[in-house]
Chain A
Amino acid sequence: MNTLFIDTHGEMVVLALYKSERLIKKKEGTERQDHSTICMPLLVELLTEEKITIHDINDIVVVNGPGSFTGVRIGVTIAKTLAYTLKIPIRTITSLELYLENIKEENYLVLNEKNGYYVGKIEKRQISEYEYIKAKDFDNWKQEKNIAICTEINYENLITFAHQKDPLNPHIVNPFYVKKIEVENDKKS
């Protein structure tokens, strides 16, 4: 049972291969270049090194955001096209869920981004709500909250975690942006 993990939400492209939920190989883009020039060549490298083809992949787990809009779209487009054409299950996990295992007593996970923070409210060891907080509002927001800053990802148990979720129809797998774009804000006001 080969699981392909795709994460393009951050500065680095991360691809990993799991066999029966056990991490076999993780590959990272070495340079902070365009994800589009890195992601597919990295996938081919991963497959070649493990001496398998794309047809040996049995299911996919993709990080659908929040994070870089374009970055997430690259990973999600590749993942949903793979799942659709190979007819294999696909599941999504959010970028904040990558860090969930490190949580102890805290009730908010915080992921730093260029101009602000993606935050997730934690209830019963799950993220119940997502929000985007602008940098200027952050100090005010974090008062009297027990927050955990996202830093290290533990890749070992990621797929076991992801597999608890239901697989999705590839057509409805889409980026989870959280942050609104300017025109949406303009339209509201």
Chain B
Amino acid sequence: MNKDIRILAIETSCDETSMAIVKNGKVVESLTIATQIKTHANFGGVVPEIASRMHTESITLVLEETLKKFSGKIEDIDAIAVTYAPGLLGSLLVGIECAKTLSLVYNKPLIAVNHTMGHIYANNIEHDIVYPTLSLVVSGGHTDLLILKSEQDMEILGSTIDDSIGEVFDKVARVLGMPYPGGPNIEREALKGKDTYQLPIPMKEENFNFSFSGLKSYVINLVHNEKQRNNEIRISDLANSFQTTAVDEVIRKVELALKKTGIKNMILAGGVSANKYLREEMQKLCEKYGVTFHVPNILYCTDNAAMIGCAAYPLYRAKKFADFTLNAKSSENIKKYIEENK
């Protein structure tokens, strides 16, 4: 029998300081998430410098908490994993320097994990990812449609050519006067309203790329124009129409991919996968095509270190270790990452 592999993972790419201990890329043995949402809400969005400061303040506290919840000893840990990209540079660096220090002190290999891969591998926590599978990654930084052919082989079908879906949810929420974070607030308002606003379909082309900036601009202009004319904006209805249009566009592309590839497994990943309307529509679509559909528990959809521990496991097995010159990258082409890790 193979020895169990335990990875201590660190995630500080945005406004959550999180650490986890994950066994065999699957079993979450300890997880701590210190969120800064309330602080950033005062400013209407994440302030990078404040995020970095708060990570530094809480990093050893989160470590202490994570080790306290863990029934084993630090000697039982086999590797230290950390998110190095994409994200806020100053924030990523706090996690990276902490990870390097732990790697030095405990003499364990260091593993550099791409945050987006973390979102995908979060699906391994409750279900085994069955290959090949289609994967839709929707978050504040990403809108990607991928085929996962095996643990080490992936292919990007399409990505957003402008804004990510999460970004657009946050911007529209802001224009509609909702506090940060926008996504959950749009969802809440949408439940109270009806799809009565005629909004443009983002991208008519029959390929797998996404575009949301046109939809975003349309909503922003609509709100400004109505305000200037002193017309009432039905916020709940507009939230509903916006959410419906954005999500339906995503669903349309996923349907296209399911038809074209004939793949029978589908996983959803990323912060926006917490959106109930998206989850339900994906479920319906997959049922229609006889496709097995999985989405992580909401806890593992938003930023957390457990998913980083999951994504680090295949890298550990392939002995893809990082050295102490590891640096943060604010954005990294996921295609390059896939190529390098093949």
Interface residues of A (CB under 8 A from B): 34, 36-37, 39-41, 43-44, 54-55, 69-70, 73-74, 76-78, 80-82, 84-86, 170-171, 174-175, 177, 181, 183, 187
Contacts and interface: CB of A to CB of B under 8 A. Distances in A.
Contacts of B37: none
Top 8 A-B pairs, shortest CB-CB distance: A40-B324, A81-B101, A77-B97, A84-B60, A40-B100, A37-B325, A85-B105, A41-B324
A55 B42 CA distance: 43
B98 interface: yes
A40 B60 contact: no
Q: How would you classify the secondary structure of chain B's contact residues: helix, strand, loop or mixed? A: helix
Interface of B: 42-43, 47, 49-50, 52-53, 56-57, 59-61, 63-64, 89-90, 93-94, 96-98, 100-102, 104-106, 323-328
Given A69-B52, A70-B52, A170-B60, A78 B90 contact: no
B119 to A, nearest CB: 24
Nearest to B92: A36
Contacts of B328: 36
B101 A74 contact: no
Contacts of A43: 104
Given A73-B53, A78-B97, A181-B50, 15 more contacts: A54-B104, A70-B90, A74-B97, A77-B56, A78-B101, A81-B60, A81-B63, A81-B101, A81-B102, A82-B105, A171-B60, A175-B56, A177-B53, A181-B47, A183-B43
B98 A81 contact: yes
B104 A73 contact: no
A170 B49 CA distance: 21
Contact of A40 (B50, B57, B63, B101): B101
Contacts of B56: 73, 76-77, 174-175
Contact of B59 (A37, A40, A55, A77): A77
Contact of A175 (B53, B96, B326): B53
Nearest to A177: B53
Nearest to A81: B101
Contacts of B97: 36, 39-40, 73-74, 77-78, 81
Most buried by A among B43, B47, B93, B102: B93
Contacts of B59: 77, 80-81
